[in-house]
Amino acid sequence: MKIVILGAGQVGTSVAESLVSEANEITVVDTDVARLARLQDRLDLRTVVGNAALPSVLELAGMADADMLIAVTQSDQTNLCACRTAATLYRTPTKIARLRSPDYARYPELLEPKNFAVDFSICPEQIITDYLVQLLAFPEALQVLEFADGLVSLVAVRAIPGGTLVGHPVADLRRHIPTVDARIAAIYRRDQPIIPDGETLIEAGDEVFFLAATRDIGQVVSELRRRDRPTRRILIAGGGNIGERLAVATQDRYKVKVIEAAEARARTLGATLKHTLVLVGEGTDENLLAAESIEDMDCFLALTNDDENNILSALLAKGLGARRVLALINRRAYVDLVQADRIDIAISPAQISIGSLLARVRKGDVAAVHSLRRGAAEALELVVHGDGRTSQVAGRRIEQLDLPPGVTVGAVVRGVAPMAGGADRRRVLIAHHDLVIEAEDHVILFVISKDLVPKVERYFQVGLGFF
């Protein structure tokens, strides 16, 4: 595909890195010459310097014959203007816009073809907030990712000594919890992937990815490690966009405190967050953390815009007794460096939010994509179409699928999604070798290497006879 990306920030750069590796023709537009030069040094792509809202700049970027526009600058107005221009002047087939303000979600008619002509909008800040909410709900998990509108979850857990399954084969999972169906999709041992079979032993320290119906997550987690006490008290360092959204989402469920360095911003937060205590100060202030009883906090979240501050404040909070610490870190090298240290979870914002964009770029009918392990692996939700004549998937048992090594079918969701307000009668079927896949099933796969994704996409596409 020919894709024009507007904005070379963290989101734009991560999208470019992912799409270039899949043999797409990419052009990136930004006003920062140095940033574009660094990007071009690392990746095989074109760059254009200029204001992304101007038709002349879009013309230089090759919008006239582009298949897709991904507008992810820091400015909502620039992104909207570019989508409208691309639709009016070039009839660009697919236009994606990053919209940070919640106002546009309240007025979706503004995005319709007759107005700003946005085919799909994303808000990375809200995606990250939703991700953090899930991690707070399951304090034992390293990752919690949802599929099929939340019916199925993929969860990553660190197996620890004392876990019921530790030292036992994967097949024992069914014996221990016979009323719950789950599938261990992958194990990472010393950062190396293992596709498990029933005889694979689970060792302490393994990072175990399993799929289960969301309602059953807690029981499966308890087999791999002792359940932690529920989250009750959280302290957020950073009252920016993400910090505020997280406080709004959690203040009725937990006791929430926010530390914000800018006094004016802290006053604004104090006026809008009715059930949250807002403090003026720095997350790296040892005296402030001690005064706020950091040792009693179930979770400390460092969510400022400064990677170094987030790392230091998280390490300090852990040293002072916080039970669990999470740090938002943009630089990938830092994520790899501190994840194995005393920070429980290092969160890469771009890698969390990129899945929504990848789902629009993938070939075939892709309902969801989640980027895993800093972009090295992926989990996909693919919709099956066709029949035994036009599809390599429909009508076949899972054991008959000719998927490449490193690809695991974890679960199948069967049934039609309900209309608004209707009862959800879809069924979650954990993948076993004799399960027959039917047309319109949603198949959830774990792919240990991004290099395998194109093969999976081609395999799930229907033949010409389908049309």
| Tens of pLDDT, residues 281-340 | 999 999 999 999 999 999 999 999 999 999 999 999 999 999 999 999 988 778 777 765
User: pLDDT tens, 212-227?
Assistant: 999 998 888 888 877 7
Enter the tokens of residue 327. 């740090």
The one-character DSSP state at 191 is T
Query: Which of 28-32, 58-62, 103-107, 294-298 is least confident?
Result: 103-107
Cβ-based neighbours of 349, under 8 Å, separated by 6 or more: 10, 11, 124, 128, 242, 328, 330
Highest mean pLDDT of the ranges 173-182, 286-295, 342-351: 286-295
d(CA 316, CA 448): 34
- Quote the pTM value: 0.87
- Judged against a pLDDT cut of 90, whether residue 10 lies above it is answered with no
Enter the tokens of residue 153. 């979850």
Residue 198 has phi, psi (to 5 degrees) of -60, -25
d(CA 381, CA 188): 21
Enter the tokens of residue 148. 């099929």
Q: Classify strands 407-414 and 427-430 as parallel, antiparallel or unpaired.
A: antiparallel
Whether 182 and 165 have beta carbons less than 8 Å apart is answered as no
Which parts of 229-350 are beta strand (E)?
233-237, 255-260, 276-280, 299-302, 325-328, 345-347
d(CA 378, CA 374): 10
Any idea which residue has 């020919």 for tokens?
A: 2
d(CA 212, CA 218): 10
The one-character DSSP state at 424 is -
